[in-house]
Amino acid sequence: MKKTNRKVPQSVKVKRRIDTAVEQAVADKKRFYDGVISRREQKYLTELTALQNQVNAQPLAFIAPENRGLVVANWRNWWKWWSARGLALIAFLAITPIPPELLVLLPDHIRMYAIAVTAVCAFMMNFIDQKHDLTQKTKGVQSWSLKS
């Protein structure tokens, strides 16, 4: 009996070569991008540790104010502060007499309650951020000129 040699078709040979080339290219690209990612991670880690060291080395500047005098730096703007307004209202309620017509309508000791509530509100107003300018009420509003 004659032994038959079966030949592999050319398309299968080419497909095997293409598959190995694609696998090799994928492995090369994976190795390349893994290296890029690890270098970026290392760079970010070094930047992060440098920032952490810088933050740990600096004193807490936000706690200690720059102006170390008895009076705050912007004392001329005291009338813009909400807490100053509340304290002025407390002084007004404590000093001015309440008209007798109003005293008849109000329950007893209402003046002390009003002063206490105003004092608590004035204390809480100390914690509101008052650095922004309250006079600009058109913040974020665009205006267009009528000239064409």
Sign of the Cα torsion 45, 46, 51, 54 reads positive
Question: Of 91, 96, 83, 63, nearest to 130 (Cα)?
Answer: 83
Residue-wise pLDDT tens digits, 3-21: 777 777 777 778 888 889 9
Are the C-beta atoms of 115 and 90 separated by less than 8 Å? yes
- Nearest Cα residue to 120 out of 80, 89, 75, 77: 89
Per residue in 87-123, pLDDT (tens digit) is 888 888 778 887 888 878 878 777 778 778 888 888 8
Q: Tell me the whole-structure pTM to 2 decimals.
A: 0.36
Please give the pLDDT value at position 130: 65
Asked if 82 and 132 touch (Cβ cutoff 8 Å), the reply is: no
